[in-house]
Amino acid sequence: MPETVERFENALKAKGFMIFAELDHAGAATKYGLDLRPRTVVIFGNPKLGRGRCRSSRHSRLTVPPKALVWQDDQGAVWLTYNSAEYLGTTIYPRHGLSMPPEARQALEQLLSEVSDQSTK
């Protein structure tokens, strides 16, 4: 689990993205005496790419920048889950009055696919 998070973050950084935050849900649960399988949310982005969107739609920060969830199932397998670029571009962005051109969606989907492969194989 920690190795997958580290590989994912390193793959993103190698592509010029930064990690804004890492949320350890299992660690937080432990502080309250609860048991939860490992689950880490990674919030990432590229300020150079997102700056204009942030200025034009401040409330979009509720759902953007993108996030990924690295989690462990009951059998111990580790998974990486994220919203597709298609979903971000056709659902999330329009929800905030933003647009993502098809070529930007394609580039983001390629990035997500590449970093996902590097993280999980």
Closest CA relative to residue 69, chosen from 29, 11, 24? 24
Kindly report the CATH number assigned to the domain that includes residue 45: 3.30.310.70
Tokens, residue 50:
């997102």
Residues in the chain: 121
For residue 98 the two structure tokens come to 């933003």
pTM of the model: 0.86
Instruction: With cut-offs at 50, 70 and 90, classify the pLDDT of residue 96.
Output: confident
Task: Please state the domain count of the chain.
Answer: 1
Q: Rounded mean pLDDT of the chain?
A: 89
The whole domain housing 72 covers 2-120
Q: What pLDDT, in 10s, does the model give residues 76-85?
A: 999 999 999 9
Closest to 79 measured CA to CA, from 3, 4, 9, 25: 4
Examine the pLDDT at 67 and tell me if it is beyond 90: yes
Distance CA 121, CA 100 (A): 29
On whether the CB atoms of residues 28 and 60 are closer than 8 A, the answer is no
pLDDT at position 98:
86
The answer on pLDDT for 61 being more than 60 is no
